[in-house]
Amino acid sequence: MNANQIVHPKIGDIYEKLTVIGPPENGNRAWYYPVECICGYTFQIRRDRYKVTTACASCAKTKHSADYNRLRKVWKEMKRRCDSSVSHKFHRYGGRGIKVCAEWNDFNSFNQWAISSGYQEGLTIDRINNDGNYEPSNCRWISSEENNIARSRKILDVRTGRVFINRAEASKALGITTSYLSMLCSGTYQSPYFDLKYTV
């Protein structure tokens, strides 16, 4: 059987609780895919069982809470965009030197922080300093609406009267990072060189 005649799942594809973590392997009579379950257990699954088997044997018998499953996906995607060069988001995270702190390499630690920090369904993880790492002191949970507003709010340069349509435009024009820009606009940091604020 020719691999070029078969449409294989891509590395990173997720189905139910399983994530494909490697290229297909050709066995004696069938193709096998290396997968990782939401619990962290890795194993190989035969091609004809892909999308039939939805979890490892242990998790198939165990019902995790919906929050647990969602947070597990958040954690895996966070690590993937920071650690895996095959992620289409790597250039914006790991490629810029952004890392996941050592404490959060363990999902249980991340899960405990998430619950104690107010995680709820519909919230997304946000780094306060856009140039900082994923770590407890630099992360919070915000709604998608808040995230979109933060990215799209207009910014006024009080000294010149110029209005920028969003953080990206202001950052480029002023030659400063978006995270520093956010601190100036929110009043978290005062600078003798800039007087910026959000506007409608």
Tokens standing for residue 147? 């995230």
What is the model's pTM? 0.51
| Domains identified in the chain, total number | 3
Question: Is residue 119 pLDDT above 80, yes or no?
Answer: yes
Of 61, 84, 101, which closes a domain? 61
Of 113, 130, 148, which closes a domain? 148
What is the pLDDT, as a whole number, of residue 3?
47
Mean pLDDT of 11-35: 83
pLDDT one-digit tens code per residue, 123-158: 889 888 877 899 999 898 988 777 666 666 788 999
- 75 & 124 share domain: yes
- What span, in angstroms and rounded, lies between the C-alpha atoms of 119 and 135? 15
Per-residue confidence band for 167, with pLDDT thresholds at 50, 70 and 90: confident
* Single-letter amino acid, residue 76: K
Q: Which residues contact 50 (CB under 8 A, 6 or more apart)?
A: 9, 15, 33
- 30 & 12 share domain: yes
- 144 & 90 share domain: yes
pLDDT one-digit tens code per residue, 92-114: 789 889 999 999 988 888 988 99
151 within 8 A of 178, measured Cβ to Cβ: no
What count of other Cβ atoms lies within 10 Å of the Cβ of residue 88? 8
- What span, in angstroms and rounded, lies between the C-alpha atoms of 49 and 162? 59
Which domain, by its residues, includes 85?
66-148
pLDDT one-digit tens code per residue, 68-101: 778 888 998 999 899 988 888 888 789 889 999 9
Q: Which residues contact 58 (CB under 8 A, 6 or more apart)?
A: 37, 39, 41
Q: Is 134 exposed, middle or buried (0-12, 13-18, 19+ CB in 10 A)?
A: buried
What is the pLDDT, as a whole number, of residue 200?
66
- What span, in angstroms and rounded, lies between the C-alpha atoms of 28 and 33? 14
- 120 & 46 share domain: no
What is the pLDDT, as a whole number, of residue 21?
84
In the chain, DSSP finds a helix count (H) and a strand count (E) of: 6, 10
